[in-house]
Structure 1
């Protein structure tokens, strides 16, 4: 009897050992990702109904939303047609809903970007054939307006200007090579008018350039000897460092909480994967589909918005960890814009109206 029991125990032990030897050990990427992110995604940690503030706008065709303080700035088509140029620059009080037209441009002029702070208002415009850009700066202290980027300059489409403090950052084209464009990252002093070239970069003519400003950094991408790299410029330290990318091109890239979030495309496989990169070490914490092969990535401070064909989700970066805040409900569908402590969702309305849902994540 004893021998039978002993044999039974040995058989069970051998089965356990065999199973353990077959169990897959976690890879370095899996281990690093678990250390930096929530292990399990959640459907919803946000009470959208309580944090959303509704702003109704008396305009049907609206774009280029930006928020500063209690005001929302946007462009709109004067004739209400979404296919027409958005030639009105408008300011709306998010508390009262009152609107004020700041600038009414010619009917064929399209306002592309709006940036504002306590001292300055900057906006970029295009006119037919809409392949060149003008950039205007308004001094909110004295009301003065000046053109700081003339239309004659070749801006290769979008300047992608970004306002921070008393400086504006943008991309501009220097020269074109056979397959590459040489571009410059420019810092412009609003008070002095001084231009400083931070970096010259090379961009594939067939692909868009990534350019992002937030959380005290300017982020862009460039090709070096045919290989893609990210460049992260610290505004406070006035230093730039490079991080070699794994993918062939970046479809989108933002910076938040010490990480670079990007959607990198692999030309050989035709796939786009989401990447989470430690900005200090350059280590890829994840090059798997974590956020979901995002078609659009936006950041607002420590908050990330990622949009795919099937889902729209929010994340928060806190103490070097990435937390899933959940998906955006279907009832909140619309175009998403970054805002202070959160995001804005533009919903196209009927009867010549639009609605902006302002999401305040400051308590999340």
Structure 2
């Protein structure tokens, strides 16, 4: 797995000025308009940030604290920024000399992040009680190869994939759950094969989604965190990558094998129908019941039609260096300008 390597430089965000977006200041081309707009435009003095997540009025992000002349790209600080008060607080600083804070997740009660040594061979997950600020280490991994540990937060639990052994050149392991209330860890499922194709755990409300392989076939697993029920769905193809759960649909990249180019597929869980979409996609997230996609040139918002095709609903004009989505509710674009990193936060107009 390619690990995010970042530069680090300490600035104080208290000098940043968040502004409510003026709709007339940047007109954007529309495909088929939806009720979504840029609600905040924030200039930060950071050279680089990673994994920004929003839960109003807060933004949480990994951030740099070194000068632009540094050869090291390293986000070693976990920063909390209050959009309303402009107050900044550094919540955590990595224990590693060359570090990468990523995998940030947040809800009303908990903040979760991943502190990783840049090589990926040392990897820790932490959880913080947002009210008391009490911080606990969820796990600690030391491997000879880059770790695939990326956390997912649902209610009062943190879930992650953990490698356990290498058998016949195949990495095996399990999906684990940490109870933020009592600190207990348990295993919710074993994995036959762990690789770049299934490193993420995707979640939507109380559902957790992942993929696995057995006997040269690929399967989707939907786990209900409220009752422990697990549904298993065989994929249309033998090799799948990065599945996400959007309403009653599974969206993923599928191919005959992992050496081939993967195509975008949409699977209807209720009707059990699947359709290949002739749309080049370079990454996608869930936003409400739609998909935010990047085709390598522009980022767009698509709705899913009854015939399992996708329709463009909005085209975002600002060419961001990166973007992420928080809990399917906020789209966060961020890019560098002459002053540092600028962040654009989009949400439904009535959000």
Supply the distance in 2 between the matched residues of 1:211 and 1:152 (Cα, whole angstroms). 20
Aligned to 2:49: 62
Supply the distance in 1 between the matched residues of 2:141 and 2:312 (Cα, whole angstroms). 43
Backbone CA RMSD of aligned residues:
2.8
- What aligned pairs does 1:168-317 form with structure 2 within 5 A after superposition? 168-203=158-193, 205=195, 207-267=197-257, 270-284=260-274, 286-289=275-278, 292-316=279-303
- 8 A Cα contact 1:89 1:102, kept in partner: yes
Aligned to 2:332: 344
Query: For structure 2, which runs of at least 5 residues remain unmatched after alignment?
Result: 1-29
Report whether the alignment pairs 1:135 with 2:125: yes
Report whether the alignment pairs 1:95 with 2:76: no
Give per-residue Cα distances to partners, 1:17-41, cap 9 Å, x unaligned. xxxxxxxxxxxxxxxxxxxxxxxxx
Deviation at 1:317, TM superposition (A): 5.5
Aligned to 2:65: 78
Q: Aligned in 2, Cα 1:322/1:102: closer, same or farther, shift over 3 Å? A: farther
Supply the distance in 2 between the matched residues of 1:155 and 1:118 (Cα, whole angstroms). 34
- What aligned pairs does 1:98-109 form with structure 2 within 5 A after superposition? 98-106=87-95, 107-109=97-99
Deviation at 1:237, TM superposition (A): 3.5
Supply the distance in 2 between the matched residues of 1:222 and 1:150 (Cα, whole angstroms). 23
Supply the distance in 2 between the matched residues of 1:356 and 1:275 (Cα, whole angstroms). 31
Deviation at 1:131, TM superposition (A): 1.8
Query: For structure 1, which runs of at least 5 residues remain unmatched after alignment?
Result: 1-41
SS at match of 2:168: coil
Structure 1 residue runs of 4 or more that deviate by more than 6 Å after TM superposition: 318-323
- What aligned pairs does 1:152-163 form with structure 2 within 5 A after superposition? 152=142, 156-163=146-153
Deviation at 1:138, TM superposition (A): 1.9
Q: Aligned in 2, Cα 1:334/1:246: closer, same or farther, shift over 3 Å? A: same
Q: Aligned in 2, Cα 1:164/1:47: closer, same or farther, shift over 3 Å? A: closer
Q: Which moved more, 1:160-169 or 1:299-308?
A: 299-308
SS at match of 2:121: coil
Aligned to 1:10: none
Provide the TM-score with structure 2 as the length reference.
0.81
Deviation at 1:260, TM superposition (A): 0.4
Supply the distance in 1 between the matched residues of 2:104 and 2:120 (Cα, whole angstroms). 17
Give per-residue Cα distances to partners, 1:130-173, cap 9 Å, x unaligned. 32211122223333222221244789513110112110011111
SS at match of 2:318: helix
Greater helix share, structure number? 1
